[in-house]
Every structure is written in structure tokens, then in C-alpha cells.
Amino acid sequence: MGWVKVAERGAVARDAGAEFDVGGTKVAVFNHGGLHALEATCAHQDGSIAPGEVKDGVVECPLHFWHYDIRTGRLLDYLKGVSLKTYRVEEREDGIYVEL
């Protein structure tokens, strides 16, 4: 698919996340020490991680509190070897872009 504009600049508040539908793929973008993009759907029960609390590079799924590293997508508790897919993300002059 390539690079897709998902939002205007500044659309994702600092230390927060937002979910975008990119051609049918749900992508969570976090603004926390730079922008990070990963699959928005939690590996547990398909909740969205986008509204989760972000702290020290980790997002907590708001449904049952599983934790993911927002840089690598790796699940940090409960199961080994589980990761959410990550995507490249850039803030450009005209908006936020994600590469799918």
C-alpha cells in the first residue's frame, strides 16, 4: 500500500494514542517520545490499545491491562513470543503518514 496520510499534524496528543483505519487495517499511533505506529487490535480479546495509558514506552490495553512496548509491539506480560505488528510512521509538513 505504501505511505498513507492518516491525519493532520498534531492530531495525536502528546503521551496519548489515536486509532486510524488505513485501508481496512486498524492502526494505533502513539505520540510518546516521537511517533510510533502499531497494530491497534490487542492480542487478548481484540480491544483497541489506542486509548490505553502510555508510560515509559509501554501502552496498557484499557480492557484487561496487557502491556505492549510501543516501539517493538512486543507483549510484555502473560504470554511469550506475542507481538503486534509495527509500522513506520512519519510526521510530515502536511500530516501524519503511516507505511503499510
Binding of ligand FES by 63 (CB under 6 A): yes
Q: In this chain, which of 11, 35, 44, 76 binds ligand FES, going by CB under 6 A?
A: 44
Which of left, alpha, beta for 77 (phi over 0: left; psi -120 to 50: alpha)? beta
| Closer by beta carbon to ligand FES, 6 or else 59 | 59
Q: Closest CB to ligand FES among 84 and 96?
A: 84
Number of helices followed by number of strands (H, E) in the chain = 0, 9
Residue 77 sits in the site that holds ligand FES (CB under 6 A): no
Q: Are 35 and 44 in contact (CB under 8 A)?
A: no
CA 98 from centre of chain: 11
Length in residues, the chain? 100
> According to the binding rule CB under 6 A, does residue 75 interact with ligand FES?
no
Q: By CB under 6 A, tell whether 47 contacts ligand FES.
A: yes
User: By the criterion CB under 6 A, which residues form the site for ligand FES?
Assistant: 42, 44-45, 47, 61, 63-64, 66
